[in-house]
Each structure stands twice: as structure tokens, then as C-alpha cells.
Amino acid sequence: MSALANRPFSKMNGIGNEIVVVDLRDSPAAVTAADARAVASGVHYDQLMLLQPPRLAGTEAFIRIYNSDGSEAGACGNGMRCVVRQLFERTGKAAATFETSAGLLNCWQGPAPGLYTVDMGAPKFNWQDIPLAEEFRDTRTIELQIGPIDAPVLHTPSAVSMGNPHAIFWVDDVNAWDLARFGPLLENHPIFPERANITLAHIVDREHITIRTWERGAGLTRACGSAACAAAVAAARLRRTGRHVTVTLPGGDLGIEWRERDDHVLMTGTATFEYEGRFDPALFASVA
């Protein structure tokens, strides 16, 4: 039987990014991609955040992150805010460190009640680190387009890794494009050997960006925290904004700071509790 059968969970969201949080720190039992897909058949989510026993001293947990299609993600800023809200409310703590496959994440209470800040670490720009399938010496823009070669529909995105690969297409209106149509094609483009999150971004002014994202492994989403970070960093690299911006997503706003002293990206926003439940064992009946 799945390690998730009969397990309690919390359904939360980070500005519309649907999150399920499960605390497995009392159990070393493995959770599989099939388990994650089974959860999605009964509880809608974009990301499943699994807290497993800590592997490093000084950390609260090792967190595995699953997308709803069963693939794993290295980072999910919106999900981390949900995790820390739950932890802080249950323990009274105001700061914590977690380990993920993308590295250590430091989190703390934000500048106002109801806000939480996640240090998403330093972005990566080298084509091999994003990763891309071929060399680009300057990933501020890469050669990629959709549509006729003489009249491309979308073209010349910025590429960056925030623990997961991102491509950011700069447009005048993020709502003018059928992202549900183009997103799957671009996510699975051969240039992205590990697939990619696809974002449409519009520079409102030097302190404000608007985005919409097709999330790798989850599809069209109301919010993607790592995409907000990636867009903010990419805009600053192009000198179109400063290093501290508000990013507006369909689900709400995030404050993003690309900190100059260490290049770490700090993301600040809300986390909303929806309900608690317990996984029905019947969900996992077909899981081998």
C-alpha cells in the first residue's frame, strides 16, 4: 500500500498555485511518481510538497516536490511559502531551513503579517546548467521561435534556471496569446532536454512585471513562484528593470528581490490555507 494511504494532508495555495502539503517526517517510506499521480486523481493540485526526514543537521526536512503529472521539480516558491506558513503556525518559529534537490532554502516571516519570504538561491545562466541542448554563450536571449520563420508568433526568449528551467518570452500583452496552445509545444521543445517552464512577460515599468506561465508538468497555472523569480532576474539582466520588482501573476502579486551582495533571489508573498483532509486508500488501489 502507498505510504500516502490514510495520511493527513493540507490543501493550500500560494496566490492561486494549488499546493498539497504532506508531512512524512515520521516515516522514511518512499513515495513514487505513481503515488503523486494517484493523489492528483482525487485532490487537484499543481505541486505536491512532501516533507521527509531531514538529511542535514540544522534543516527542518528534506522536501520532495512533485508536479501533478508525477514528474519531480527542484523548486517551488509558492509551495515553500505554504510549507513555512504551516510550520510557523504550528511551532511558533519565524525562520527555517529546508533541503530540496535544488539545494538549501532559507525561509522566514515576511515584512508584514501574512507574508512569507523564501530565499530561492542564485539563478544559473550557463546553457549547460539551465540546461539547454546546445550552446548559447549569452542566455539573456536564445534563438527559439514558434511560427513561420519570417513572421514568428513568439521568439527570442530569455533562459534561466531557478532550480528548474525557464524560458521567458517578452510580449506587449500577456493575455493576447493562447498560452494553453503554445505552452505544451514549447515546454517539450528539443532545446529543453529536461522540458521547461514557459512564461509570457510584459515590462510595465522598471519596478513592475506582469507574467503568465505554462508550468512544466502542471500546465497553465495561476501562479508560479520560480517563474516570477526567473522573469525578474531576466528583466534585470536585460537592464529593463531594477533588481527589486513586483511581479503580477493571474493569482496575485509577488515581491522579488535579486539581492546584489550574493545574487540570491528573495521571493515574498502570501500563503492561504484551504482545508485539511486524509487520503482515501482507494486512490492508490492501482499503484503497484
| Residues pairing with 155 in the sheet | 145
Q: Which of 76, 82, 107, 229 is catalytic?
A: 76
CA angle 127/189/45 to nearest 5° reads 100
- Give tens-digit pLDDT for 151-208: 888 999 999 999 999 999 999 999 999 999 999 999 999 999 999 999 999 999 999 9
Its pTM stands at 0.92
- Residue carrying the nine cell digits 529536461: 194
Residue 107 annotated to the active site: no
- Give tens-digit pLDDT for 226-281: 999 999 999 999 999 999 999 999 999 999 999 999 999 999 999 999 999 999 99
* 3-state SS, one letter per residue, for 71-135: CEECCCHHHHHHHHHHHHHHHCCCEEEEEECCEEEEEEECCCCCCEEEECCCCECCCCCCCCCCC
**What DSSP letter does each residue of 169-237 carry, written as one string?**
EE-S-TTSS-HHHHHHHHHT-TT-TT--EEEEEEEEETTEEEEEEEETTTEEES--HHHHHHHHHHHHH
Asked if 104 contacts 112 with a C-beta cutoff of 8 angstroms, the reply is no
Closest CA to 46 of 32, 60, 65: 65
Mean pLDDT of the chain, nearest integer: 95
Q: Over 70: is that where the pLDDT of 137 sits? A: yes
CA angle 63/67/69 to nearest 5° reads 140
Q: Over 70: is that where the pLDDT of 288 sits? A: no
Range with the lowest mean pLDDT among 48-57, 143-152, 244-253? Answer: 143-152
273's enclosing H/E stretch is: strand 272-278
User: How do beta strands 244-249 and 62-67 pair?
Assistant: unpaired
Position 250 scores a pLDDT of 96
Position 287 scores a pLDDT of 82
Q: Which of 82, 107, 224, 229 is catalytic?
A: 224
Q: Over 70: is that where the pLDDT of 116 sits? A: yes
Residue 76 annotated to the active site: yes
Q: What CA–CA distance (Å, rounded) separates 54 from 60?
A: 6
% of the chain surpassing 90 pLDDT: 90
